[in-house]
Each structure stands twice: as structure tokens, then as C-alpha cells.
Amino acid sequence: AQTVTQSQPEMSVQEAETVTLSCTYDTSESDYYLFWYKQPPSRQMILVIRQEAYKQQNATENRFSVNFQKAAKSFSLKISDSQLGDAAMYFCASLRSGGATNKLIFGTGTLLAVQP
């Protein structure tokens, strides 16, 4: 079974600073995907970044990057130059690769506050 753990219920960062959100996961699959989703107050789920487990290179999307440590089963999200609009709940999620049924399993989330 897949499990995703986010040990930081809340985090805070100053505007323009950098913050790292932690995530660990457990899966018996050899091939899988990992995601970070952002949920602002509107509650719309927005994909932030995606990582394929077979790729060693860490994914990057503008100010967002991940530190993917496959052996340690760790997948942290780094937000650089934090902006007020980054304030949201962030969810880490894992997805088994292959097969007809793909189930996205979420962690419990980290609420990020950005201080001006």
C-alpha cells in the first residue's frame, strides 16, 4: 500500500525568503510518480510540480523545485523568493505507475503562511 507523510502541519516564511516543505512516502512499486499540489483558500487543487521516480534529475518549475531522494523515500518542495500568493495548503501525493487504475494518494498537508 502507498502512504504519504507530511510531518509539518504548518510552516511560515517571510516574503522573498526560501522555505522547504517535507514529505516522505512509502511504496512497494518500482515505478511511480510524485506530486506537489497547492490548495489556496478557493480550495481549487492546483498542480505545482511532478516527479517521475525513474528520473534522477530533480524537477523544477520556476520558483518551485524538489529534492527527490529515492533511497530515503523523501520528496521535499523548495519554494524560492516566496510571494504572498504562495500562501496555501500544500499536499504531497504519490501515484503508482502502470495499470488501468491509478490512485493518487495524498498526505495530510502543510499550511504555508507567507509574512509580508
Contact between 64 and other proteins by CB under 8 A: the answer reads no
Contact between 113 and other proteins by CB under 8 A: the answer reads no
DSSP state of 9: S
Asked if residues 25 and 70 have their Cβ atoms less than 8 Å apart, the reply is no
Contact between 91 and other proteins by CB under 8 A: the answer reads yes
57 vs 54: CA distance, rounded Å: 9
3-state secondary structure of 25: strand
Q: In the complex, what is the shortest distance from the CB of residue 16 to other proteins, in angstroms, rounded to a whole number? A: 29
Contact between 103 and other proteins by CB under 8 A: the answer reads yes
Sign for the CA dihedral angle at 42, 39, 47, 83 comes to: positive
Between 5 and 83, CB nearer to other proteins: 5
List of residues contacting other proteins (CB under 8 A)? 33, 35, 42-45, 47, 50, 91, 95, 97, 100-109
